[in-house]
Structures are given as C-alpha cells and as structure tokens.
Structure 1
C-alpha cells in the first residue's frame, strides 16, 4: 500500500480497524530507549504531582515532541490560510497556540508556534496531525516555502534534536528562574517570549503554564541541554524542585484541561482525498488507536470542533482560512463546549474493588492516567441515556484528590453541577488491543465542572484574561 487512502479502501470498517488493530505511534515512541532519556518517575509520581502545586518541578520536553520549521517568502501566507488564528498580532516576542481545521470545520490538530522574523521564519512544536497538514499544503499548494521536519528523538537517526526544551513549573518557579537567570528573570506577559542567559547559555523563554502556575518553557541548542538543566536543578534545590518523569508529565492535562491529540477530522470528505493519498500507510494518522466506550461506525462521531476543545476564543474572522464558513456556522450553535467531569468516588471505588471481589470485573483504572486509547473516547450520557458528550482524557490528581476527565459536552448539559453518566469500559468485553484486558462495561456518575478543574489553574486563567 502506498497511502492512508489505500489502507482505508482495504478495510470494510475503518473505525473497527482503528479500534482493534492499530498500535499508535504515540505508544511506539514510548520505547525502552525513550525511558532511558526521561525516567517514568524520578522519585514517584505522587510527590512529583504535589511538587508542581507546592514547590516546583522540571519537566523535560526535549524528546517526545516533533517539530516543524517553516520559512520563506510565503511562510506566513501558508500558515495564516491554514488556521483561524489571527496573524495580525504576529511578533517575534510572543508565542501562539496554533490550530487548524478542515473545510467542514473539523479539528485537525494544534501546536505551539514561534516566529523568529522573516529570515528564520516559524517553529511549530508538537502535534503530528497539524504538522503533517502543514507539510502537505506547503508541498502541494504552490507556496514558496522551505519546510524542515524533525521527528521525536526515538525516530531521529542519531538520537539528537536541534533543541532541548524544559518546563519549570510551580509556586517557586519564579524564584528559581530569578536566581538562575543572569541579571534576574525579566517580566514577561503570558505567552510572550524573551531571551535570557543561564550558565552562560542563551535561552529562549516562553511565559507559560501547564499545571496551573506561572511557569516558563525554556529552550536552546540541544548540546547545551545538560548545562542548563544542571544549573536550574542546582538553583532549585533549596526550593525543593523535583524532576518530573513521564508518568507525571502526562497527567498535567487533568489540571490545565488541555485535550491532547483529538482524532483529526481528515478521514471523510472528497476534499480531503488528496491529503489521505499523500499520507503514508504507516503515518501517525494511519495508526491512531481508538479506545474507550464510545463505539460508532461513523468516524465523524469522534471528530472535534473549536468550541468542544475550548478554542473558540482563538478563532478570528479577520482573514480567509480553510473551514471558515463551517466554523462560523458551527459557533452559532447549538454546539459542544469543553468541560471537566468529576467522577463519583463511590463508583470509582466500586470499579477498583471489582478486582478483589466475586462478580463482574470492570476495566482497570490506572493511575495517574487511566486512558488506554490514543485517543480514548468514552461516551457521556444524560440521566435518560441520551449521548450528550465525549470524554477524552482521564486520570487521578493528588492535589485535588479526585478522578477527573476532560470532555466536550452539549451546551444544554454543560452547566457546572449538572449530573451525567460516563460509560466505562469497551464494548463486547474489550477490544483486541493487547494491553486491554477482558472486562465488563459499567457506568460512573459524574459532575460537570468548569475547565480547568484546578482552582489554582482557574485563578491563573482569570489573571491572564
């Protein structure tokens, strides 16, 4: 087979294929080699979670995120046309959350974008579906652009990257950065950037926050990674800084309510056929691994819109872009919106207790993150059994002492405090995915909550808005 389209044509039911027979690129990249680069836990995930609320953590983002570098005379025109994000405020001293959609208004992907000026162009970080979407249009759309793709570290020939990337997070992050940066840490507005020096190295800083605090994402040349990391850890020792492993890192969305890697809406529509013919049969999109209780032969039931992901505020109609008409119509409603579901603890305990009692055995709830699909889609029902939403990402947060999940839910059921039900476990006793054990489905009562769920994150969000 030469393309994703040929792969799809060879399957009588492509949803069934994604649900049962794929091994996601995400899980492929979590190899033993990757674990040697970043430990799953440097101490233990519970203390690492607590550190981002009580002291500080250092997340290492240097290896798991692909990157795309786009420059040339048409670079801005290309990226602006592919996204509803406004480029009117484009500047070299501010980052941008970049999103892209199909002509039908279905979400393709999102990433972080930096602009370094006309000569050096743009850097787009993470989000394979959106990076592939950009690559395709850049190569086939007649744009005068130079595009360089850099995969995650396990897929690089020499195990090296152009840049390292760290996140310093927590209530003591500012004190640590103030000490480690030569001349102190500058005042930087949220999602703005600046250059500082750490241990003699020039470091690019994005004022950011992943776990509810005013953190900073810092990056620089890959060969300076150890020098910068050691300096930060040394300065942070007296503040109780901890390195956070991958188990902790992948639980951060439960606090900041970012929904990672929704299924890209590219599998339907003749207007997307050429793109599917461009994508390889072993591409990221060909290996999305659906999981969870939502099972539908209609793949569009797994698609997302801007409002469902909480991206409505990023959509600006000050330029022409792919999907403009569909998005404009969709935002008029009725629509889905982003919320957090707080799981009923009695129901959670009942599911966990099933492993130790006679009777039905329910799907295990792993901690701190409980997802087993990439992406995972669990159906959310109203009290009368009507499907009203889709839960995407779930797990435990020790700072809130709660099991929660992120979801897109119909506006009519989105008011905080509304009671809904989440179906837990897969159909027919579980899929053929080798990491999914045989089990029975059950239901977990949930309470609809604001997104983000963390009170600390909500306070920080209000501060920047």
Structure 2
C-alpha cells in the first residue's frame, strides 16, 4: 500500500521540507520535443498559425450522475448558473481560508462520450484529486472515471485534442469549412464539419492568440490532424513540440501549478482527512528560492489574476474568507522581464571556474512541480515568481509573478534564483544563489492577450 501524504508528513515533520527534498519526476509533455526547433515553433502562434497536440499531456476526470453540479458547486468559487451543454469554465477551488488548491478546465459536452459522460475536468492532477476525494465521500449520485496522461495510462485517450492558434488560424478554419467561420463566444463549444466528421471546437487558446481547441473521439484524430495540416499549408502552419508548448503560459498569463493550500487544518478536520486519502506520490515537489513556512506558498485567486471567476452566488468551501480577501487583495499577478545581462551571467557561470548559479534551462526554467522564487526590493520580500522561461518571439526571459499591490508596473525588483541551502532533489546540482534584476510588466505580457483575445 502506498504511503499517504499524512504518513509522509508524520515521517518528515514539515510539508516544505518534504516537498522541497522529494525526488518527484520531472513534468514533461508526452509528445515530440521538437518538430523543427522550439524557437521557430514558439514564434509561430504570433506570426502565422500553430498546431499543438494536447491529446496526451493532461489528466482527465469524466463525471456523471444527477448530483455532479451540486458536488462541484460546493468546492468551486465559480458560479454554475450558466453551466450547460456546449459551455466550458475554468474551475477553481480554494481552502477554508480562501487560498487556492488548484484549477482546471471543466467541459459540459454537447455530445456524450462513448461511456455516456457529458462532463469532463481537464488539467493537472492536483484539482482533479480534490474533486475525486469529494465525489467519493459525498454520498451523492456522482460517478467518476480517471484518465491519466499518456505517461500514466495504458491505451489511447478518450479524445484527441488539437489547439489551432495564431493570426492565420481563422484562415485555416475558413478553408476547412469551405466558407465563413461562425461566431463563437469565448469558452463556448461549437460543432464544425470537416475531415468527414463532426469536430467539436472550444473557443480558447493556450497562448492567448486567436483560435480553437478541437476535440473528438481519439480514433478520428489522425484524419482530423491531417486535414488541418493540409488546409494550413498555404498559411505557414507549424506543428508545435513539447518544448515550445511549455512556454505558452508565459504568454497567456496562466500560472500552471499554484501550490495547493491543503496543509492547514480546518475545524471540521476535512483537510486532515484529505491528506490521509491522498497518496504522497501525488503531492508534487517544490523548486526555487522561497524557503519558509508553508503558508508563504499559498496564493489567493486574486494573487493569480483569477478574481474575475469568483462568484459569491452560492455556498462553497472558503466563501467567507474569500469575501474578506476580495475587499482588499494583497497581491496581483504580473510579468517580470528578467535583465538580459543577469541572465547572461547565470549562463556564463556554467562556463567559468567556481561554483555556478543554478542551471537555467531554455526554454523553461521550472525545476519543481511548484516553482517558487522569492522576489525582493532591497531587503523586502514583495512576492513570488512562479513559471519562468524564454519567449522567442520577444527574445525575452520572462516569469509570471504575484507581487504586493503597491509594486507598480515599471518597478525594479530582483528574483532570487537558486536554492540556499541546496535541496536534496536529484535534479538540483550544487550551486550558489544569485539575484537577477527584473522589471515589472502587465500579465499577460502581450496587449492582445490582455484585451482583445477574450472579446472575440
């Protein structure tokens, strides 16, 4: 029997020490690393049109039963008043103090799966595990089917998923349809007829650019992809590999893996029960310079730019706490533009005698499942930097961060890069901690992704 998170915590004594030193497998997308080269691939969704294969990399939870919405509503900050077939939403859960546990995309399918399911939650396993726990203990009419990503699952997934994005995405779809592209609202699902079948398309884009996420039965995926590539050839379509795909959150402004606020006990003992239920192997790992109490890693929806999704029209875990937080959020989501000279010094340290800085990966710097680096102004910690990497289109090293609200755009800060002391994770080599200068900018970084993208 696998060790539970509660047992692992009893053995180690502190959640930060446990997750900072655990050997957790590196997260990789189970698709080709590169089809051409990741620099050209990651420019394509800004310049022409990109095709991303999302069929294999996310966990999926299929749900059915009369009480699905009732159970989900009780653990979600989102309203369900408009949730109906053909609509998707970003599902967000918080703990009793209003801190985020996780988020994912919830689809209400217009067409049931072969197993008869109409609702599916897609994302990292963190939120999905929390939903499974509540479904099992609810006593309600809710049934679940867990489908791991292609690293964790044998056989084919239920759906193919292809993301078509970029300024020429509309042209490609128009050619596929042989006529005008219908208007579809953001996060709505529409049926398209091409490749000799019905293809469902969610109006959404991982990189904050125009396009759709197409999906359907996996058995039809090859011919659908072939049709998209053929139609896109004259518009410069580019297939996207795992390396380029990994940087899309930096442009869309989505923090992929916020730290789950499951380590603080509530009066009802719910979170103690959850830690007994959750296998320690699914708890993740911490990477980065932030080192302190576990509460230092907690973030609210407002810290992550998710405040627009919060709705107090229903009862949910953490509602009262979140109402207090909403009145005066302490932090906001921003982009940090890392100084080129300081990034170059980190690279140079690998090529000169002496202790190097922590190795800086291109295109993605994250080396923990939860990446948390301190952001400082002088001796004052003003926030945390999370996802970090190189955006080839802008030729900038960027990170997504949550900073105190009194730190304005244009302000100068420093990212503390590397661990002190070095953790015992096998993917952390001996290194010295350094400071990387950065400038605060809006998130998402591109104005189109901040404004026009959601309104189309």
TM over 0.5: yes
CA–CA distance in structure 2, aligned partners of residues 200 and 404 of structure 1? 42
Question: Which residue does the alignment assign to 1:432?
Answer: 424
CA–CA distance in structure 2, aligned partners of residues 120 and 20 of structure 1? 39
Matches within 5 A, 1:55-454: 55-116=48-109, 120-158=117-155, 160-181=156-177, 184-269=180-265, 270-282=269-281, 284-285=282-283, 288-296=284-292, 298-383=293-378, 385-413=379-407, 415-428=408-421, 430-454=422-446
Kept in 2, the 8 Å contact 1:293–1:426? The answer is: yes
Question: Mind listing any 5+ residue stretches in structure 1 that lack a counterpart?
Answer: none
CA–CA distance in structure 1, aligned partners of residues 383 and 122 of structure 2? 29
Kept in 2, the 8 Å contact 1:42–1:243? The answer is: yes
Kept in 2, the 8 Å contact 1:182–1:198? The answer is: no
Kept in 1, the 8 Å contact 2:71–2:135? The answer is: yes
**Structure 1 residue 201 displacement after superposition:** 1.7
**Structure 1 residue 450 displacement after superposition:** 0.5
**Structure 1 residue 366 displacement after superposition:** 1.2
Kept in 2, the 8 Å contact 1:3–1:281? The answer is: yes
Residue deviations 1:28-49 (CA, integer Å, cap 9, x gap)? x66xxx3xxx210000001001
**Structure 1 vs Structure 2 CA RMSD:** 1.7
Cα distance change, pair 334–257 in 1 and its aligned pair in 2 (3 A): closer
Q: Find the residue that maps to 2:371 and give its secondary structure.
A: coil
CA–CA distance in structure 1, aligned partners of residues 315 and 58 of structure 2? 29
CA–CA distance in structure 1, aligned partners of residues 234 and 72 of structure 2? 44
CA–CA distance in structure 2, aligned partners of residues 444 and 420 of structure 1? 8
Residue deviations 1:104-131 (CA, integer Å, cap 9, x gap)? 2121111111113798441111131111
Question: Which residue does the alignment assign to 1:458?
Answer: 450
Kept in 2, the 8 Å contact 1:213–1:460? The answer is: no
Number of corresponding residues: 448
CA–CA distance in structure 1, aligned partners of residues 54 and 174 of structure 2? 21
**Structure 1 residue 210 displacement after superposition:** 2.0
CA–CA distance in structure 2, aligned partners of residues 261 and 350 of structure 1? 28
CA–CA distance in structure 2, aligned partners of residues 41 and 157 of structure 1? 24
**Structure 1 residue 436 displacement after superposition:** 1.9
Kept in 2, the 8 Å contact 1:290–1:373? The answer is: yes
* TM-score (norm. length: structure 2): 0.94
Q: Find the residue that maps to 1:95 and give its secondary structure.
A: strand
Question: Mind listing any 5+ residue stretches in structure 2 that lack a counterpart?
Answer: none
Q: Find the residue that maps to 1:5 and give its secondary structure.
A: helix
Residue deviations 1:182-222 (CA, integer Å, cap 9, x gap)? 65532111211101122112111001122231110010001
